[in-house]
């Protein structure tokens, strides 16, 4: 990682910024679990969502993507949260084009993919925020793009908006191989978490597991820093 890059990146990308921290170790453990799960069936496209907002989806998706790339997987991180896109902020990338641009020019999608901060990691930021996110994300073109992504990468991690507020992630779940639900300790309402899970279960999304984020704030056992 060059000094310029570390300046632009969010320090909470701990897998890169604090690789020896307990938090970084947890992301690597998540990666290992996914590797085990993929033994019993292809897990190329993995969506990260939550019931309610602000649980740490973007941080989880980004740290996981870094950990996967470090393990030698050719990884694509896609920001499909067209409500509150964060990936470009976290990585310090430009966001003049991205997923929404790729949706309007699907034949040229590869042009909008940017290089990530570690070898093997590519990033597709959200691109300009459109007026009709759910329409775009549930379109046949989006489903087709997801297919293209998985043909070009070993693994695709997709950051999304929360399930309870918008239909975006529910629609997207139809084009992925598995869903990770992020729950934030002492922050999200249990009701919202359950509601989110319920909505995804209704459409037969494949659940991979729940990530409990930020237990640090509860018991002080560890933090990201």
Identity of the residue, 83 or 106, whose beta carbon is nearer to ligand ADP in the bound complex: 83
Q: Is 145 exposed, middle or buried (0-12, 13-18, 19+ CB in 10 A)?
A: buried
184 belongs to the binding site for Mg ion (CB under 5 A): no
Would you give the distance in Å from CA 151 to the centre of its chain? 18
Report 82-101 residues binding ligand ADP (CB under 6 A).
Answer: 86
Query: Least CB distance from residue 58 to ligand ADP, whole Å?
Result: 3
Report 49-68 residues binding Mg ion (CB under 5 A).
Answer: 57-58
Identity of the residue, 81 or 177, whose beta carbon is nearer to Mg ion in the bound complex: 81
CA-based angle 77:177:198, to the nearest 5?
105
Nearest CA-CA partner of 57 in 34, 38, 83: 83
Binding-site size, Mg ion (CB under 5 A): 4
In this structure, the chain runs to a length of 225
Identity of the residue, 81 or 177, whose beta carbon is nearer to ligand ADP in the bound complex: 81
Tell me the per-residue interface mask from 20 to 59 with ligand ADP, x by CB under 6 A, - otherwise. Answer: ------------------------------x--xxxxxxx
CA distances from 27 to 13, 32, 36, 134, 216 (A): 10, 9, 14, 29, 15
Query: Least CB distance from residue 17 to ligand ADP, whole Å?
Result: 12
Identity of the residue, 109 or 208, whose beta carbon is nearer to ligand ADP in the bound complex: 208
Q: Is 190 exposed, middle or buried (0-12, 13-18, 19+ CB in 10 A)?
A: exposed
CA distances from 179 to 12, 44, 98, 124, 127 (A): 22, 11, 22, 19, 23
Query: Least CB distance from residue 125 to ligand ADP, whole Å?
Result: 14
Query: Least CB distance from residue 55 to ligand ADP, whole Å?
Result: 4
Q: Interface with ligand ADP by CB under 6 A: which residues?
A: 12, 50, 53-59, 86, 213-214, 224
Q: Interface with Mg ion by CB under 5 A: which residues?
A: 57-58, 81, 86
């Amino acid at each position: 990682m060059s000094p310029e890059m570390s300046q632009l990146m969010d320090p909470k990308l701990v897998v890169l910024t604090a690789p020896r921290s307990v938090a970084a170790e947890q992301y690597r453990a998540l990666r290992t679990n996914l590797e085990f799960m993929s033994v019993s069936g292809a897990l190329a496209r993995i969506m990260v969502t939550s019931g309610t907002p602000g649980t740490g989806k973007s941080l989880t998706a980004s740290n996981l993507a870094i950990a996967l790339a470090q393990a030698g997987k050719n990884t694509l991180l896609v920001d499909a949260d067209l409500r509150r896109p964060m990936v470009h902020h976290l990585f310090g990338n430009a966001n003049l084009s991205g997923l929404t641009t790729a949706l309007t020019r699907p034949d040229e999608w590869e042009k909008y993919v940017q290089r990530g901060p570690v070898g093997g990691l590519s990033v597709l930021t959200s691109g300009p925020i459109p007026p009709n996110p759910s329409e775009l994300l549930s379109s046949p073109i989006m489903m087709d793009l997801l297919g293209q992504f998985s043909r070009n990468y070993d693994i695709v991690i997709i950051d999304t908006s929360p399930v309870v507020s918008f239909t975006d992630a529910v629609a997207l779940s139809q084009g992925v191989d598995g869903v990770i639900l992020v729950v934030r300790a002492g922050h999200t309402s249990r009701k919202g978490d359950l509601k989110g899970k319920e909505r995804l279960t209704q459409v037969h999304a494949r659940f991979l597991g729940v990530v409990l984020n930020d237990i640090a704030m509860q018991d002080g056992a560890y933090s990201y820093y």
